[in-house]
Amino acid sequence: MDSVGNIIVYFIAAIAIAVFSVLTVTSRRILRSATYLLFVLLSTAVIYFQLGYQFLGAVQIAVYAGGIMVLFVFAIVLTHKPNDRSGVLDTHRRIVGLVASGLGTVLLLFALFYMPLPHDASLAECLTSGREITMQQIGEAFTGSGRLQYLLPFEAISVLLLACIIGGVTIARKR
Amino acid sequence: MDLSILWYLVPSVIMTACGVYGFITRKNLIAMLVSLELILNSADLNFVIFNRFLFPGSMEGMVFTLFAVALAAAETAIAIAIIINIYRSVGDSDIHKVNKMKF
């Protein structure tokens, strides 16, 4: 049995995700669309916090809601005039989009409700049976090379970020 | 009322569906990238949910999501650099006007 507070927080986050996801892809002003995406990302961070992953929620807010959204707003302001609206969708394109996303949703919901899950525990049970994840455990998982430790991907990501910096500067610089 | 795994997976399904719809219907490159972020974010959310509900003793889903967030940051930075470059040479970021390569 989950506490009432958890249920309320879940419904606020879930409804915010649903509403703002729809607004993100239907809004005709692109800056508003990016702002709605920011709200979706923040609601996702709320769900991470609720599931007990505090570090991941903080990373989600800092990297996604902080870093990536700044990049998006920067690019939008560079490439759009203020009050620029995208044109009205033609029906053909809208129908194709609706059919594709509708088919995908039906397939995913079918998979969700008809595939057997190993066990059907509530959030409270999972939070009590799982151990608390400390910063020390996260640090050891990223800096060890043993079983269930990820030093190699961690280093690969750092090289990738370096390549990304150099690539970004090379592509976007003025010639 | 119990908050089971299904409750948490439903917002993720909605996010994916909206991302697919936006990716098909949008004509602007940045708007398509925004839709792509929605799909990516719902995949991250799924990793974390399955980790918490099916394997509460381990933290592998969280670690994968951390890597996915770093990858998403790199991918967005490069994509936006390319879009700005396209805007500079074509004058628009509409996909219907970007129909020529160098020659």
Q: What is the pLDDT of residue A116?
A: 77
The CATH classification of domain B5-90, taken from the options 3.40.1390.20, 1.10.287.3510, 3.30.450.20, 1.10.1270.20: 1.10.287.3510
Q: Is B39 on the interface with A (CB under 8 A)?
A: no
From chain B, pick out residues whose CB is under 8 angstroms from the CB of A126: 52-53, 56
Tell me the sheet residues that pair with A29. Answer: A85
Q: How far is CA A47 from the centre of its chain?
A: 11
Q: How far is B99 from chain A (nearest CA, A)?
A: 18
In this predicted model, what pLDDT tens digit does every residue of A15-62 receive, in sequence order? 999 999 999 999 889 999 999 999 999 999 999 999 989 999 999 999
CB contact under 8 A, B2 and A2: yes
**Percentage of chain B modeled with pLDDT above 90:** 56
The pTM score is: 0.91
Contact residues, A window 25-64, toward B, CB-based 8 Å cutoff: 25, 30, 33-34, 37, 40-41, 44, 47-48, 51-53, 55-56, 59-60, 63-64
Contact B28 A30 (CB under 8 A): yes
* % of chain A surpassing 70 pLDDT: 98
Residue B103, pLDDT above cutoff 60:
no
- Determine the pLDDT at residue A68: 92
A73-78 long-range contacts (CB < 8 A, ≥24 apart) are A73/A31, A73/A34, A74/B80, A75/B30, A75/B80, A75/B83, A75/B84, A76/A30, A76/A31, A76/A34, A76/B30, A77/A31, A78/B84, A78/B87
With CB atoms and an 8 Å threshold, state whether B31 touches A33. yes
Q: What CATH class is the domain A1-84+112-132? A: mainly alpha
The reported pLDDT for the residue numbered A60 is 93
Which residues are CB-contacts of A91 (< 8 A; sequence separation ≥ 6)? Answer: none
* Per-10-residue mean pLDDT, chain A, length 175: 86 95 92 94 94 92 91 90 78 90 92 77 77 85 87 93 92 79
Contact call for A21 and B77, based on CB within 8 A: no
Chain B residue with minimum CA distance to A150? B63
Round to the nearest angstrom and report the end-to-end CA distance of chain A: 63
pLDDT at B91 over 90: no
Q: What is the mean pLDDT of residues B31-46?
A: 94
Q: Determine which of A96-110, B72-86, B89-103 has the lowest per-residue pLDDT on average.
A: B89-103
Greater confidence, A171 or B39?
A: B39
Ordered by start, the domain boundaries in chain A are 1-84+112-132, 134-175
Q: Which of B24, B41, B81 sits opposite A172 (nearest CB)?
A: B81
CA-nearest residue to B56 within chain A is A130
No. of helices (H) and no. of strands (E), chain A: 8, 0
Domain ranges of chain B: 5-90
Which H or E run contains A49?
helix A30-50
